[in-house]
Amino acid sequence: MLLLQWHTVSPIDRQSGAWIAAAANEIGLKQMILTAVEKVILTPRANPMFVVTPELSLPLALVPAIDSVVAKASKPLVFIAGLEHMTLEQYATLAADFDDATTAMNPQTNRRVNAAAIWIVTNTGSRRYLQMKRGLADSEQNDLTHGREAFLFASPDQRDGRRLNFAVGICADFTNKQHVLQLRREMAKHPDVLALDLMFLLQMNENQDALQFRTAVAAYFDPPEPGGEDTRTRDSRLRPRYFLPTQRLQGARCSVARRACRKASEGCLSAGPLLADASQYRDEAQVDAGIELTLDICRRHDIEPSFYYPSTTFDFPRCFQVATIVCHSNCRRDKTDLALPDWVYERVEGAGIRLVS
């Protein structure tokens, strides 16, 4: 899993409140990053790779560059990108060129769109999807329209160890408890999908400790509610078993979680090594959940779990050669803030994960 934690300038002018497009220098810098990342994506590997960018961070001008990168990539590959804001007309033009796209709940032409693009590339071909943000933040209520549906990407083989069902959400899709509960009910309607294994939540949010995020996350772990359209048994299976937050960014972040409503069976993938990051873990329960998630993926795909130590040492690309689990500071020279406390390492070793350096 590769998280492109590039810096994104705020899309809203602080003085006028107007939405602004990505500047040429930002586009050029991100093109350079994509060129560097391409070398990693092209490297032959046995396991699938997920590449993820934060909400509102990929300039529309770089969509063709992603097309080019994924076309040459080692397969299978999933590339998930939060696109810069756009007009509904721009969204419609882009959607016409993609394989499938969600629709606007209220298609007002004077409102803008916040969306994610998903590329899925396997040995049998590639497909591209566009998904609108469904839940709008307060600052977006007067300017953006929200989506009616969302995608659930389900593996054709639903057996444990072979299955990797995943979905994508965007920031405020995840900050309202009722929205989360509704999402779980929608997922439970699909009789051929027995579990959701990953959800990617793309965010651009300067206040990452906001109460809304914490209360909405809890709704994923609530027991099934009596009544409603979903059954108790299936709803409980469609809850995520673990939630894995990611590190702080300069105004944006990606995090791993879950989401869905509409099924697209082209997501035929199996899980690969997990690059886990515990920078925001604040208690033993969160750390244990992250460790167990990592061990579960390693067990299912015969990966020896080895964690790079210490978390703040930059050692790229060697860190990927000696360890299967790394932190962002190990592969980013500009990231020096991820200092895990000693008790986290004790917890990791206690779970049977080897520390290497």
Residue 306 confidence (pLDDT) above 80:
yes
pLDDT per residue as tens digits for the range 137-154? 777 888 889 898 888 888
In the block, tokens 């999807």 appear at 129
**Integer-rounded Cα radius of gyration of the chain:** 19
CA atoms lying within 13 Å on the CB side of residue 121: 23
Instruction: Look at the chain and count its residues.
Output: 357
Share of residues in the chain with pLDDT > 90 (%): 29
Judged against a pLDDT cut of 50, whether residue 229 lies above it is answered with no
7 to 103, 151, 260, 307: CA distances (angstroms): 29, 27, 28, 27
Q: What is the pLDDT of residues 92-120, one digit of tens each?
A: 999 999 999 999 988 777 889 999 999 99
Measured CA to CA in angstroms, residue 115 lies from 90, 164, 276 at distances of 11, 23, 26
Instruction: Using pLDDT thresholds of 50, 70 and 90, give the confidence band for residue 68.
Output: very high
Give the pLDDT confidence score for residue 136 in this predicted structure.
83
Evaluate whether 134 touches 146 at the Cβ level (below 8 Å). yes
HSE-up of residue 95 (Cα within 13 Å, Cβ side): 18
Local structure of 254: helix, strand or coil? strand
Q: What is the mean pLDDT of residues 191-203?
A: 82
Going from the C-alpha of 34 to that of each of 70, 95, 103, 288, 334, the distances in angstroms are 11, 23, 29, 34, 17
Count CA atoms within 13 Å of residue 167 on its CB side: 29
Rounded CA-CA distance 217/282 in Å is 15
Q: How far is CA 286 from CA 14, 202, 243, in A?
A: 36, 20, 8
Cβ neighbours of residue 223 closer than 8 Å, sequence gap 6 or more = 236
Higher-pLDDT residue of 84 and 310 is 84
Mean pLDDT to the nearest integer, 276-303? 69
User: Does pLDDT of 46 surpass 60?
Assistant: yes
Instruction: Indicate the pLDDT class of residue 90, thresholds 50, 70 and 90.
Output: very high
Separation CA 281–CA 294 (nearest Å): 15
Q: What is the mean pLDDT of residues 220-228?
A: 53
Structure tokens, 235: 């709803």
Quote the CA–CA distance of 225 and 257 in Å, as a whole number. 20
257 DSSP assignment:
E
- Kindly state the helix (H) or strand (E) to which residue 295 belongs, with its residue range: helix 284-300
If one counts every other C-beta atom within 10 angstroms of the C-beta of residue 108, the result is 11
Global model pTM greater than 0.85: no
Specify the higher pLDDT residue, 79 or 334: 79
Highest mean pLDDT among 56-70, 169-183, 199-213, 280-294: 56-70
What are the beta bridge partners of residue 180?
none
- Place 211 in a pLDDT band, splitting at 50, 70 and 90: low
59-68, 87-96, 322-331: segment of lowest average pLDDT = 322-331
Predicted confidence band at 34 (pLDDT cuts at 50, 70, 90)? very high
- What 291-298 contacts at long range (C-beta under 8 Å, 24+ apart), as own/partner pairs, is 291/347, 291/348, 291/351, 291/353, 292/242, 292/351, 293/241, 293/242, 293/244, 294/325, 294/353, 295/351, 295/352, 295/353, 296/241, 297/271, 297/272, 297/273, 298/273, 298/274, 298/324
**Contact, 147 vs 130, CB < 8 A?**
no
- 116, exposed or middle or buried, with CB in 10 Å at 0-12, 13-18, 19+? buried
